[in-house]
Amino acid sequence: MISPRLLPALLISVLFAGGALAQERRVPSSAAELRLSYAPIVQRVQPAVVNVYAAKVVQNHNPLLDDPIFRRFFGVPGQQPEQMQRSLGSGVMVDSSGLVVTNNHVIEGADQVKVSLSDKREFEAEIVLKDSRSDLAVLHLKDVHEKFPTLDFANSDELQVGDVVLAIGNPFGVGQTVTHGIISALARTQVGITDYQFFIQTDAAINPGNSGGALVDMTGKLAGINTAIFSRSGGSQGIGFAIPANMVRVVVASARSGGKAVKRPWLGARLQAVTPEIAETLGLKRPSGALVANVVSGSPAARAGLKLSDLIVGVEGQAIDDPNAFDYRFATRPLGGTAEIEIQRGGRSAKLSVPLETAPDGGRDEIVLTTRSPFQGAKVANISPAVADELHLDSDTEGVVVTDIADDSTAAGVGFQKGDIIVSVNSQKIARTSDLEKVTRAGSRLWRIQMMRGGQQINATLGG
């Protein structure tokens, strides 16, 4: 009988059964193999995993200052007290020059970022690129004149359920910690964490502070970036999620090229999930694939011949179960050239070649509204094809869209949200950001606002 203490070692034989994950997987064949250890892998990859400390200054707000009677009798203090908010996460060194990838939510809004290496040295870091759509960010260590250990990227498409993985990070701030487990699921698309919902699920223990840390395979390569857990208690309950390495690779490549935003292929079509009712109408055995609901004129999809009601079932030989799976597969294709997509049209299969190019972004005219109004603190943009793609809007949508809102701003207090489309203000049609800026500068005691949120029209009247 095998001792329970030795059971975890059963899983590590992959490393010694041929080296690469693509080779044959097998269980141990001797007692000696049961005494093998993860230590060689950990020693090799641990120096490339770092701790990330982010801090931002916030203004303390006294609710009494909102009371006009209080303000009248006691006046308004000239300077409100400030407070430093800190967050803790992990990161992975992906370039020897000091390039670190972590989660965007770890450093979001930070005024100062520090990176601590496994040897306890600390460095100031600058934010090179932030990508909220994938929840990834890239940092660069300041004033460094040395080469750092790095992790190579695995091909996350080659991972299989049951593969052994290690999670390395700084949970709860206790210091660098290694946990092990298996990949318990792939292509999780109903998680609701980022725009690109296509996660590796693992039972390797992931806790607060692990965000941005490494999920490592048995060849010592980066399989993914740990990003979230499913938990009712705040601690690990055996369901953690990691962003696949192939998506991380795209974001890091954009940072290396000097870009401030990630450039991804644009399809130019809106897709919808196949429900059981739709599957029955189409004569499908099961509800799967991505149904084309709209095609933008002149877009790569249109030029490739994609049509309304086509059912996309594959990209470059990879099966597509839903629109989230398509978004991930298409977004991780390199720009330039084409991607082959497999469709079903009228009960017949066909293959189309879609050009891999970015969405046009001319005329975005993004501005932050600063004039006293309900919109103060909101960042708004014209709906270009690129903006429509980022926010999952139809490209023919009319109006101006909210792309960001400052914390503690008037717009945040009123209840505006990212993705809200401002259609009219005080009976004036809002077609461009300049229209909305002009209306807010004119001022008003009463604001009648018509907007769209999630396809629903909202009419609101607010006092000035």
Retrieve residue 143's tokens. Answer: 């004033």
* AA identity, residue 218: M
% the chain with pLDDT above 90: 33
Question: What burial class does residue 448 get, using C-beta atoms within 10 Å of its C-beta: 0-12 exposed, 13-18 middle, 19+ buried?
Answer: middle
Could you tell me the CA-to-CA distances from 335 to 170, 263, 267, 332 in Å, in that order? 35, 8, 12, 9
Catalytic residues: 105, 135, 211
Q: Read off the pLDDT of residues 134-156 as tens digits, 9 standing for 90 and up.
A: 889 999 999 888 999 999 999 98
Look up the pTM and report it.
Answer: 0.75
Q: Which helix (H) or strand (E) holds 99?
A: strand 99-103
SS3 (DSSP) at 369: coil
pLDDT at 402: 93
Residue 246 assigned as binding residue: no
Residue 145 assigned as binding residue: no
Selection from 119, 137, 154, 146 nearest residue 48 by Cα: 119
Selection from 428, 430, 425 nearest residue 449 by Cα: 425
Asked if pLDDT for residue 302 goes beyond 80, the answer is yes
Q: How far is CA 133 from the centre of its chain?
A: 4
Residue 394 assigned as binding residue: no
Residue 105 assigned as binding residue: yes
pLDDT at 238: 66
Selection from 330, 22, 10 nearest residue 154 by Cα: 22
Task: Give the span between the Cα atoms of 161 and 21, in whole angstroms.
Answer: 12
Residues 83-105, mean pLDDT to the nearest whole number: 85
Phi and psi (nearest 5°) for 272?
Answer: -135, 155
% the chain with pLDDT above 70: 82
Selection from 116, 137, 100, 242 nearest residue 179 by Cα: 242
| Domains, in order of start, for the chain | 4-37 (no CATH), 46-62+80-141 (2.40.10.10), 156-248 (2.40.10.10), 269-355 (2.30.42.10), 367-463 (2.30.42.10)
Q: Is the dihedral of CA 430, 433, 438, 443 positive or negative?
A: positive
pLDDT at 99: 93
Q: Read off the pLDDT of residues 109-127 as tens digits, 9 standing for 90 and up.
A: 888 899 989 888 999 999 9
Q: Read off the pLDDT of residues 391-437 as tens digits, 9 standing for 90 and up.
A: 878 777 888 999 988 877 888 888 898 889 999 999 899 999 999 99
Task: Give the span between the Cα atoms of 458 and 448, in whole angstroms.
Answer: 11
Question: What burial class does residue 358 get, using C-beta atoms within 10 Å of its C-beta: 0-12 exposed, 13-18 middle, 19+ buried?
Answer: middle
Residue 211 assigned as binding residue: yes
Q: How far is CA 275 from the centre of its chain?
A: 26
Q: How far is CA 183 from the centre of its chain?
A: 20
- The DSSP output letter for 143 is S
Selection from 255, 135, 125 nearest residue 193 by Cα: 135
Task: Give the span between the Cα atoms of 372 and 358, in whole angstroms.
Answer: 36
Q: Read off the pLDDT of residues 239-258 as tens digits, 9 standing for 90 and up.
A: 888 899 999 999 999 898 88
* AA identity, residue 212: G
* AA identity, residue 322: D
Task: Give the span between the Cα atoms of 448 and 436, in whole angstroms.
Answer: 13
Retrieve residue 429's tokens. Answer: 């049609």
